[in-house]
């Protein structure tokens, strides 16, 4: 390597490293598009687990109980989605009551207190709520496998309403 090229190389390298700090700097208040996109993708993947789980449980039971077992997973999606929006987020992410054993914030009932707030990770609070809600949906759907062929549909709906 000739001397002029070596000098130019080190000058370019220094400029790259000195300028990279301002290139990657952010104000910290904006939406992190990469993190938000990954949260939305993960939300969709968790939602896709429910039909897969229904088909898996449907394959484990006798022929006469396939539809009922699959319906348990799909009913969990409907019931828990309504419960999550109505009171689930308020109970999960509200301020601590009873020394942290219970959470509640009436601001979050029916998600009315959620606005375009950007959380610390750069994700909008709506996206975070949707992501957490999918896990509230899949949990009773996972439990449905233990109840397969053992509980009535009304009993299962009552259980997941109390569970949620």
Q: What is the pLDDT of residues 4-55, one digit of tens each?
A: 777 766 665 555 555 555 445 555 568 888 999 999 999 999 999 999 999 9
- CB count in 10 Å sphere of residue 161: 13
Q: What would the two tokens of residue 36 be?
A: 């938000």
> What does the alpha-carbon distance between residue 58 and residue 74 come to, in Å, rounded to a whole number?
12
pTM for the whole thing?
0.74
**Residues across the chain:** 164
Domain layout of the chain by residue ranges: 28-163
Q: What is the pLDDT of residue 136?
A: 93
What's the chain's Rg over C-alpha atoms?
Answer: 24
Q: What is the pLDDT of residue 95?
A: 82
H or E, element range at 102: strand 102-104
- CB count in 10 Å sphere of residue 79: 19
Q: What would the two tokens of residue 26 be?
A: 């952010």
Q: Which of 30, 50, 38 is nearest to 127 (CA)?
A: 38
End-to-end CA distance of the chain: 69
Average pLDDT over residues 65-71: 91
> What does the alpha-carbon distance between residue 52 and residue 62 come to, in Å, rounded to a whole number?
18
Q: Which of 71, 92, 90 is nearest to 140 (CA)?
A: 71
Q: Are 130 and 121 in contact (CB under 8 A)?
A: no
Q: Is the pLDDT of residue 157 over 80?
A: yes
Q: 97-136 pLDDT, tens per residue?
A: 777 777 888 888 998 888 777 777 888 889 999 999 999 9
């Amino acid at each position: 390597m000739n001397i002029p090229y070596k000098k130019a190389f080190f000058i370019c390298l220094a400029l790259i490293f000195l300028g990279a700090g301002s290139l990657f700097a952010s104000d910290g208040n904006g939406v992190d598009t990469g993190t938000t996109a990954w949260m939305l993708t993960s939300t969709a993947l968790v939602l896709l687990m429910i039909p897969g789980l229904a088909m898996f449980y449907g394959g484990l039971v006798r022929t006469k109980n396939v539809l009922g077992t699959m319906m348990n997973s799909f009913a969990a999606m409907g019931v828990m989605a309504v419960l999550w929006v109505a009171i689930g987020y308020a109970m999960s992410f509200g301020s601590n009551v009873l020394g942290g054993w219970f959470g509640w914030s009436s601001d979050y009932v029916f998600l009315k207190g959620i606005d375009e707030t950007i959380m610390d990770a750069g994700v909008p609070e709506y996206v975070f709520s949707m992501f957490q809600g999918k896990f509230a949906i899949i949990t009773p759907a996972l439990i449905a496998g233990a109840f397969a062929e053992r509980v009535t549909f009304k009993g299962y709906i009552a259980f997941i309403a109390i569970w949620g």
